[in-house]
């Protein structure tokens, strides 16, 4: 009753065959996560596991599954159902092929390989019937765009002592990653005919010192602030718009700034620091926090990480490595909701690229290690924080 190679490969192939392009990212390509969620529900039910969908936005569901005994929820195995688009791909996106141990297709690596691994792990745990508490499977929509699926899941299912998200990490455990803040700056001018310099004032010219101040701050201050395993803090002027025509003084200029944050930074201090720089450079500018996501900071000596490392000793030829990730991921949503989380997933290549493949052996290893970790955490439920 261990991981079944043929069963896992079949499942992975079916997942790739069922397109699930995020419609907000690529509206022109059509479709969404519904069909692949339906497939996964049927597959899990066919393996005796209670599974259902939960609609997050019209027609776009999460999939939740649960198995085990009457005890509380232990490990949550999570992944995302959506993929990026397929325009420009040079391998067939939805006709998976197996070459050696590589399975090709859109989403194979990011992250239907990880989803297949966790579905197989659920099937194995179901067959064994070894759990006294519960294991949940959370297969989420919209990770590639706004993470609405993760937000919806933790709002409705805050239970769980630990979470693994099978983002493709090359079989490394990622316990820390960065967060981000999106900030809007608006400067105001005075609209006038382009010939009337006595009246007109350009909002765009007023934005100049703001951009300059932020750029200097980025290069001289933020790059000196670091965190183990991660690159330095940073910000950049990402989007700018303003002006109505070449013969008119610009009445408004709008800038969007992205600031990438490190674990341990106080989010309100991060915002205030940026806002005060802007106000110094342009005293009458409006500054507003548009959106933010927090960094991930799961301790390396946490029970979850230690359990995964010891599972690695049984299933991998090399010791499991730990590393930080520069990007933001759904892991932080779980962590913020009180479920300590790490990323841990397959080997391969080509997330968001023309050629995408996942290494089948790594899919099987992730499945086996998820089974081991679920059972270990179930045997010795975590006391207090991980
Ligand atoms: Zn992903």
Q: pLDDT value at position 310?
A: 95
Cα separation, 257 vs 52, in Å, equals 40
Give residue 25's pLDDT band: very low, low, confident or very high (50, 70, 90): confident
Q: pLDDT value at position 382?
A: 60
Residue % of the chain over a pLDDT of 70? 98
**Torsion angles phi and psi, residue 37, rounded to 5:** -65, -40
Give residue 385's pLDDT band: very low, low, confident or very high (50, 70, 90): very low
Cα separation, 210 vs 186, in Å, equals 10
Could you tell me the distance, in angstroms and rounded to a whole number, from the CA of residue 83 to the centre of ligand 1?
Answer: 8
97-99 sheet: strands from edge to edge: 97-99, 102-104, 357-359, 348-349
Residue 110 CA, distance from chain mean position: 10
Which structural domains are found in the chain, ordered by start? Answer: 5-177+296-379 (3.40.630.10), 179-293 (3.30.70.360)
Could you tell me the distance, in angstroms and rounded to a whole number, from the CA of residue 125 to the centre of ligand 1?
Answer: 24
Q: pLDDT value at position 27?
A: 86
Nearest-5° angle of CA 137, CA 140, CA 142? 170
> Is 318 annotated in the active site?
no
Query: How confident is the model over 277-301, as a mean pLDDT?
Result: 96
Q: Over the chain, what is the mean pLDDT?
A: 95
Q: pLDDT value at position 30?
A: 80
Q: What is the pLDDT of residues 134-175, one digit of tens each?
A: 999 999 999 988 899 999 999 999 999 999 999 999 999 999
Hey, is 48 helix, strand or coil? coil
Catalytic, out of 33, 120, 142, 143: 143
By mean pLDDT, which of 17-31, 121-135, 372-386 is the weakest?
372-386
How far apart, in Å, are the Cα atoms of 135 and each of 152, 163, 246, 348, 371?
19, 10, 62, 27, 10
> Is 143 annotated in the active site?
yes
């Amino acid at each position: 009753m261990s991981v079944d190679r043929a069963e896992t490969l079949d499942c992975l192939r079916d997942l790739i065959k069922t397109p699930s392009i995020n419609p907000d990212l690529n509206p022109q390509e059509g479709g969404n996560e519904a069909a692949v969620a339906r497939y996964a529900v049927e597959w899990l039910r066919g393996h005796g596991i209670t599974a259902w969908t939960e609609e997050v936005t019209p027609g776009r569901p999460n999939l939740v599954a649960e198995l085990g005994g009457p005890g509380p929820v232990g490990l949550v195995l999570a992944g995302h159902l959506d993929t990026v688009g397929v325009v420009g791909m040079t391998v067939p996106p939805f006709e998976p092929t197996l070459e050696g141990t590589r399975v090709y297709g859109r989403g194979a690596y990011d992250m239907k390989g990880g989803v297949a691994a966790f579905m197989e792990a659920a099937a194995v745990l179901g067959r064994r019937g070894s759990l006294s508490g519960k294991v949940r499977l959370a297969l989420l929509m919209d990770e590639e765009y706004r993470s609405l699926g993760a937000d919806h899941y933790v709002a409705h299912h805050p239970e769980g002592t630990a979470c693994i998200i099978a983002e493709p990490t090359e079989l490394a455990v990622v316990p820390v990653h960065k967060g981000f803040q999106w900030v809007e700056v608006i400067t105001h001018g005075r609209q006038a005919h382009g010939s009337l310099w006595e009246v007109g004032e350009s909002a765009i010219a007023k934005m100049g010192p703001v951009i300059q101040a932020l750029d200097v701050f980025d290069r001289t201050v933020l790059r000196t602030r670091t965190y183990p395993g991660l690159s330095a803090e940073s910000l950049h002027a990402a989007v700018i718009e303003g002006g109505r025509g070449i013969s008119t003084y610009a009445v408004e200029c709008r800038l969007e700034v992205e600031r990438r944050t490190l674990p341990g930074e106080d989010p309100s201090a991060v915002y205030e620091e940026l806002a005060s720089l802007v106000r110094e450079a342009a005293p009458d500018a409006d500054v507003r926090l548009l959106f933010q996501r927090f960094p991930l900071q799961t301790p390396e000596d946490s029970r979850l990480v230690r359990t995964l490392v010891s599972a690695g000793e049984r299933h991998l030829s090399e010791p499991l490595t730990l590393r930080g990730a520069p990007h933001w991921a759904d892991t932080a949503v779980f962590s913020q909701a009180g479920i300590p989380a790490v990323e841990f997933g397959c080997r391969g290549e080509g997330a968001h690229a023309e050629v995408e493949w996942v290494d089948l052996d790594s899919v099987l290893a992730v499945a086996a290690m998820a089974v081991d970790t679920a059972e270990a955490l179930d045997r010795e439920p975590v006391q207090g924080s991980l």
